[in-house]
Amino acid sequence: METSPIRVTAHPDANEQLLYFTSTSLLEDDRHLIFISDRTGCPNIFVRDLESGDERQLTHSAEGWLKSYVYFDGIPYKGLGKASISVHAASGTVYFIQGRQIRSVDIHGRERLLNEYPAGQMTAFTHVSADGTRLCVPTTDARALDDEKPLPANKPDYDIDDRVQAEGLSSYLRVYDTATGDEVQTVPVPRAWITHVQFSPANPDLILYNHEWATADWGIRRMWLWDGSRHLQLRQESGAGISPVRSRHDWTCHEMWERDGSAIIYHGSYYKETPSLGGCAYIGRVLPDGSGCIEIALPAGWKRYGHFTVGNPGTLVSDGYYEMPGDKPPGWGGAWVCLLKVDWETKRIEWVPLCQSGSSWDCQCSHPHPILNHAANAVYFTSDKDGRRAVYKVAL
Task: Render 82-116 in DSSP notation, one character per residue.
Answer: TT--EEETTTTEEEEEETTEEEEE-TT--EEEEEE
Picking from 148-162, 186-200, 247-261, which range would have the lowest pLDDT averaged per residue? Answer: 247-261
Structure confidence by residue, pLDDT tens digits, 55-87:
999 999 999 999 999 999 999 999 999 999 999
Residue 214: CB atoms within 10 Å: 20
- pLDDT at residue 361, rounded to an integer: 95
CA end-to-end span of the chain: 10
**CA-CA distance, 17 to 23, in Å (whole number)?**
13
Residue type, 100: R
- pLDDT at residue 277, rounded to an integer: 54
The angle formed by the CA atoms of residues 93, 94 and 99, to the nearest 5 degrees, is 140
The yes-or-no verdict on residue 276 having pLDDT over 60 is: no
8 A C-beta contact, residue 125 and residue 192: no
Average pLDDT over residues 235-257: 67
The yes-or-no verdict on residue 241 having pLDDT over 60 is: no
Pick the CATH number of 26-363 from 1.10.10.10, 2.130.10.10, 3.30.70.330, 3.60.21.10: 2.130.10.10
Torsion of Cα atoms, 366 then 27 then 267 then 161, to 10°: 70
Picking from 20-24, 173-177, 218-222, 326-330, which range would have the lowest pLDDT averaged per residue? Answer: 326-330
The length of the chain in residues reads 396
Q: Strand pairing partners for 139? A: 123, 172
Q: Cis omega before residue 197 (within 30°)?
A: no
- pLDDT at residue 330, rounded to an integer: 61
The better pLDDT of the pair 300, 63 is held by 63
Average pLDDT over residues 356-372: 96
Determine phi and psi for 294, rounding to 5 degrees: -130, 130
Structure confidence by residue, pLDDT tens digits, 98-135:
999 999 999 999 999 999 999 999 999 999 999 999 99
The better pLDDT of the pair 301, 278 is held by 301
Q: Which residues of 356-382 are buried (b: 16+ CB within 10 A; e: fewer)?
A: bbebebeebbbbbbbbbbbeeebbbbb
- pLDDT at residue 359, rounded to an integer: 95
**pTM here?**
0.95
Task: Render 132-166 in DSSP notation, one character per residue.
Answer: SSEEEEEEEEGGGGTTTS---SS--SS-HHHHHHH
Residue 15 belongs to what H/E stretch? Answer: none
Confidence of residue 273 (pLDDT cuts 50, 70, 90): low
- Average model confidence (pLDDT) for the chain? 93
**CA-CA distance, 353 to 336, in Å (whole number)?**
7
- pLDDT at residue 244, rounded to an integer: 41
- Percent share of the chain, pLDDT over 90: 85
Domain ranges of the chain: 26-363
Burial class (CB in 10 A: 0-12, 13-18, 19+), 237: middle
- pLDDT at residue 242, rounded to an integer: 43
